[in-house]
């Protein structure tokens, strides 16, 4: 019901959001991944849709229901996530990166299951760095021209403000959102730190649903202040 009365602050906008972890194959039965429930990204997709935006959700492997009215694209790896984002981003006016993208992937995924050979020897895995999806999107001409508002997330284990401030500058995004407090993986609530060029403010402890609504309202007010 609250959604019905929510102000339609994002009518005419198209929000693209990444959510969940990525999964990087080692062989057909194994891989490496990150801890991420996807709940924050799905909550943002839902809140943005309820605020009147068109919403595209690029989701890594998570078992969460698709919010009503949201276009969902499922992916596994960071490279697939990048491809899906590149296909959808031209239509978007807002990009929110909540995904916990694996920073590295096995350099060569084996086509066949790697077998123990009985000698006790362990396989040596070589890794390569994955593309930084947020940084690429934030450096695109439309983002630089102010036609695509980019928002990053950061989960840090310590020194959140310092690390997240540095990350905002490194990724060249106007808004970076830090997860406050101990690991919030899989929890239904959280607290957020919003960092922009002028400083920072806290969205105090609340459900991810409420935080997503507050973040959507914050983004909407930024777009009103500086229309594309
Ligand atoms: N991100 C991304 N693609 C990547 C890595 C990160 O789009 N390959 C995005 C995340 O979705 C998040 C932001 O960048 O919005 C910050 O991710 P994070 O993992 O905190 O930052 P990194 O730059 O990867 O640095 P590190 O993991 O070393 O802290
Ligand atoms: Ca990372």
Residue 164: per-residue pLDDT: 95
Residue 187: per-residue pLDDT: 83
Alpha carbon 81 to its chain centroid, in Å, reads: 10
Residue 117: per-residue pLDDT: 87
Which tokens is 122 given? 């362990």
Cα 100 to middle of ligand 1, angstroms? 7
Instruction: Tell me what ipTM this predicted complex has.
Output: 0.99
Cα 120 to middle of ligand 1, angstroms? 36
Domain formed by 2-106+127-225, architecture: 3-Layer(aba) Sandwich (3.40)
Domain ranges of the chain: 2-106+127-225
Read off φ and ψ for residue 161, nearest 5 degrees.
-60, -45
Residue 186: per-residue pLDDT: 79
- Tell me if 138 CB under 6 Å of ligand 1: no
User: Do 85 and 44 touch, CB atoms closer than 8 A?
Assistant: no
Residue 3: per-residue pLDDT: 63
- Tell me if 133 CB under 6 Å of ligand 1: yes
Residue 155: per-residue pLDDT: 83
Per-residue pLDDT 10s for the chain (228 aa) are 566 667 799 999 999 999 999 999 999 999 999 999 999 999 999 999 999 999 999 999 999 999 999 999 999 999 999 999 999 999 999 999 999 999 999 999 999 999 998 899 999 999 999 999 999 999 999 999 999 999 999 988 889 999 999 999 999 999 999 998 666 677 889 999 999 999 999 999 999 999 999 999 999 999 998 765
Calculate the alpha carbon distances from 178 to 23, 158, 183, 203, 215 in Å: 23, 11, 12, 10, 12
Which tokens is 133 given? 């999806």
Calculate the alpha carbon distances from 211 to 10, 26, 47, 164 in Å: 16, 36, 9, 18
User: Do 219 and 194 touch, CB atoms closer than 8 A?
Assistant: no
Tell me 157's DSSP state: S
- Tell me if 134 CB under 6 Å of ligand 1: yes
Residue 184: per-residue pLDDT: 62
Residue 103 counted as an annotated binding residue? yes
Atom 4 of ligand 1 has which residue's CA nearest to it? Answer: 132
Residue 139: per-residue pLDDT: 97
Atom 21 of ligand 1 has which residue's CA nearest to it? Answer: 154
């Amino acid at each position: 019901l609250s959604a019905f009365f929510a102000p339609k602050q994002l009518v005419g906008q198209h929000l693209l959001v990444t959510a969940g972890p990525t999964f990087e194959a080692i062989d057909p039965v194994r891989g490496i991944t990150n801890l991420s429930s996807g709940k924050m990204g799905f909550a943002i997709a839902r809140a943005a849709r309820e605020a009147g935006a068109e919403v595209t959700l690029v989701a890594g492997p998570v078992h969460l229901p698709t919010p009503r009215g949201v276009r969902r694209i499922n992916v596994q790896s960071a490279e697939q996530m990048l491809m899906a984002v590149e296909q959808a981003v031209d239509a978007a006016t807002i990009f929110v990166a909540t995904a916990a993208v694996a920073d590295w992937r096995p350099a060569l995924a084996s086509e066949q299951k790697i077998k123990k050979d009985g000698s006790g020897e362990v396989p040596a895995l070589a890794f390569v760095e994955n593309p930084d999806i947020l940084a690429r999107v934030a450096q695109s001409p439309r983002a630089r021209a102010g036609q695509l508002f980019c928002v990053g997330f950061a989960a840090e284990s310590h020194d959140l403000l310092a690390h997240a401030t540095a990350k905002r500058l490194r990724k060249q995004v106007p808004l970076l959102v830090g997860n406050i407090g101990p690991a919030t993986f899989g929890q239904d609530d959280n607290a957020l730190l919003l960092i922009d060029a002028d400083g920072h403010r806290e969205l105090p402890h609340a459900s991810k649903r409420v935080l997503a609504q507050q973040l959507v309202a914050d983004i909407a007010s930024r777009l009103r202040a500086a229309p594309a």
